[in-house]
Structure formats: structure tokens, C-alpha cells
Structure 1
Amino acid sequence: MTPLQIIVLAVVQGVTEFLPISSSGHLALIGTLGTWPDQGLLIDVAVHVGTLGAVLLYFWRDLWWLLTGLGALMRGRYTEPARILVYLAIGTVPVVIAGFLVVKLDLEPMLRRPDVIAWATIGFGVLLYLADKSSLTLKRMEHMTFGTGLMIGASQILALIPGTSRSGITMTAARFAGFERQDAARFSMLLSIPTVLGAGLLGGLELHDQGNLQIAGDAVLVAALSFLTALGAIWLLMRWLRNASFTPFVIYRLGLGILLLYWLYA
């Protein structure tokens, strides 16, 4: 990978991972529309690990709160942080199973096609708009139930389609369930931690098995740069959602999807 490709991938991942516009879709398109070869799943995982570091740092208070819940569970107590921790764990199971099936059935090449990305970008953008505008804003994260947590977690399965956006679909599900925008984003980002951590561990094992130091070096640099850009993106998103809606992201998705369709079919 050239230095320019590393910088572009890191910035794109960092900016798009936690915004509801699909980081995986943007990463797939970089290889498809540009002159660079597709960076592959391994580098995709590396940039996701970088953004994982950003969300761990930004939400360190929430993580400490969840760790108290883990301690309570080990003592046989079911406190509020323990309850949310259980919901995050249960909500991760469906996407792990679905991701395993995608790999085993070799569905990834089909899902990364530009036309699939274009239609997913448009369709799930419209769904986000409907959820954001039609749902009441009544609930905060402490109102989360087992069924709602499982529903939001299961929605991540759709994010295996590039263009959907993992953060976008989970925020959409949370908004349909009546959660405030900031709490929808907060639960979505906490839900990303076990998913991305699992993907990072698998990627690390693949790096170890390959023994390719050049690939390993590229992966580390991409992860570091994506960490810095993701930290800024998270801060901006959480500030934006205090008083504003998801509409700008919907407009961006529609514009990007239409341009892709024009490029494919015109």
C-alpha cells in the first residue's frame, strides 16, 4: 500500500465509522472506483480496530460503569449497569452468527458489489429518515429492555451489506423504539465494541498466520490514523445530536447513492 492509500483509508474509516453513512461501503468503493486494488478484509479490520480505540477512549466513563456491572454480576447482583451489559452481550450474538455464515458461504464478493452498495445507501438512508422523523423521543438508555436491546443488536446483521452502516441501522432501530438521538448513538457505539473487537482478534490471527510484516506494518499505521480521525468524528456527532437531527446524513446518503447509480447505469 502507498502512503497516500493508507492516509485515505484511515481518514475515510475514521470519519465514517460512527456516522450513519457506512464506513464499509466507502471502503469498498475506494477500491472499486479508484485505481487502487481493493485493500481487502484484513485492512478493513485494521481500520475498524483503530476506531475501536477511539470509542473506548471517548466512552471510558460508560465502560467503567459497565465494568461495575460485570463485578455485580460476578457477585450475583443484577444492577442497572449489569443489565445494560447483558443487553450489549446478547445483542452481539446475532451478528456474530450471521458474519460467520457470510464468511463460510463466501457471500462477501456479492455483497461488496457497487450496485448493492448504492441501493443499500439509498434504502437505509430513507429508513433512517423515517425513523428519525416519525418516532417519539421519550426514552433514555436506562429504559432499555431485553427485547429492545436484542432488536437493536440483531439489526446489525443488515450492516453486513456494505452501504447499510452498522451505526446507521442500530441508530435507526433505536429511534424506531423511541430513544433520544444521543442515547441511540451512545448505545450504538457501545454495541460496536464487542463486534469490532471480535473482528480485530480474527484479523490479528490472520496476520500472525500470514507472517507478512509489510501488511502488518500497513495495518498498524492505518489503525493509528483512523483512531485519531474517529475520535474527532465521535465528538462532533455527539455534539451535533444534542440539538439537531440525522437529516444531513440522510441527504448525503441519497446524494452518494444517486451518483453511484448514475455512474453504474448511465
Structure 2
Amino acid sequence: MIQFVIVNYNNVNSTIDFIESYLKLVNGSNSKLIIVDNSENKEDCLRLESKYNQNNITFIYPTENLGYLRAGGYALEHMAENNIEYDYFILCNNDIVFDDKRFILELESVKSECLLISPRLNNNGVSINPYLTERPSKYKMLFWTCILSNYMLAKSFFFIHSVISKTKTKTKEEFPKESDFYATHGSMFILSKKFFELGGVLSDLPFLYGEEMYIAEQIMAIGGRNCYVPGLKVSHEGSATLGSQHTKFKHNCLKEAHSFLCKRYFS
């Protein structure tokens, strides 16, 4: 059984688009969907809950905004309390759209011991997976520590980087199927049940950001592998919830997550 989990935060239209895309999947009866509503006002999702009153779709309502990964952990707790079994646990953004209706069938056909499955993830027509092919060096982590030490420095850096990126042709070489890599893009994590059985967790990371490396480091510590499966095709609209601007809120979240990762895995 495939367990999907998405997180809603004040963008119910994206959640509706995801649900509609999910309901079109072939063999959807072998899956379930949980929507974690992080919004302060629960009315929008309560209305959706009435509209999508189906056995395989569940809405759950934490009392506070848990962020992305911890909302996934909240869903796992709900599943454990209700004895919900699964083979794969898929945590993804609510702006994901399935490009192939056979997504579930394709995933069920994967014969792999990998703890994490990385799909072909399209962003504006460009495949952005695997997100990181190699583990960052301590020097690169130190570089980011310097960049994130000051808000205006970081804001200037990201602005210059975005300008340069717009002038380049956005292409990415196709990554070899089932080759080892470091981290998948955080907009969709496909984690096997074995990841959690071996001690993998979603609850320690600070509020937002750093999810890719946090999962990657756990898999490395467990001695597991990641697997890229380009036959699993989805599209992603970046920054649908928080936007693309480098605000002080985003800066503080990035800085906190980066500090956490450095202390735990690169000290």
C-alpha cells in the first residue's frame, strides 16, 4: 500500500489541484492520502473534507504549524495510532502534479532495496532530480555558514544567483537509473517502510529547510541506498507556499536548519 501525505498551509487551491491529480491515478485503491493542515484557520480544509469524503482521503489538524517534515512525522503518528500499514510513505508538496496516471503502478513495479526512491521531477520543463549527487564538503558547508551569517549578504547572494541563472540555458544531464546519489529534492520524498524500521525519523529537524540533507544523512548512517527511477514522473511548482523572495523569515529558517545540519553531521 502506498501512503501519500501532503501539507497544506494557506494555499488550499494547490491542495485541490493535488487531490484532483491524485484521484486520476491508476490503481488508486491501493493508496491512501493524508492532508496535514498547518493553517491557522482550518475552515478551508474542513470544507474540502466534506467535499472529498472518501475512505482513502483523510484530513488531520495539528494545533500548531509544524512545518514540512514534522508535519510528515505527525502523519506517521496518526498512522501508527490507527494501525495503517504501508509499503511506501510519500511526503510531498501540495503543488506536485502527477505527469503519468500510472505513477502507483510504476512504483509498485520497482524491485529495489533502496530506502529512498527519487522520481523524475520536472520544474519548468527541467528535471531537477537527483537534487545532490554528492555529499557537500565541510568547506562548502562553511561557505554557506558565511553567506547565511548576515541577512543582507544572503539576500544579495541569492539575487545575483537568480539573475545569473536566468541567463543560462536550463538543462540537466539525465542521471543514470539506479545509480547511487546523495539527496533527492525535498518536494517529494518516497521512503520505504524499511527506512523507518531501521530508525529513520522525520521529527528532529527545525521548522523548515534542510530536509534533503537531513534525510540523506540518515540513510548514509543506516547504510542504505537511494535509487533514481525516471519512470516516476511528476512536476513541481517551486515556492508555491512561501514564494521565491528571500525574506527575513525564510533567512532565519535557512540559518537555523543549516546550523542544525552542521552541528549534527559536519562537526
Q: Same fold (TM over 0.5)?
A: no
Q: Higher helix fraction: Structure 1 or Structure 2? A: 1
Q: Higher strand fraction: Structure 1 or Structure 2? A: 2
Give the TM-score normalised by the residue count of structure 2. Answer: 0.28
Give the TM-score normalised by the residue count of structure 1. Answer: 0.28
Greater relative contact order (CA < 8 Å, ≥ 6 in sequence)? 1
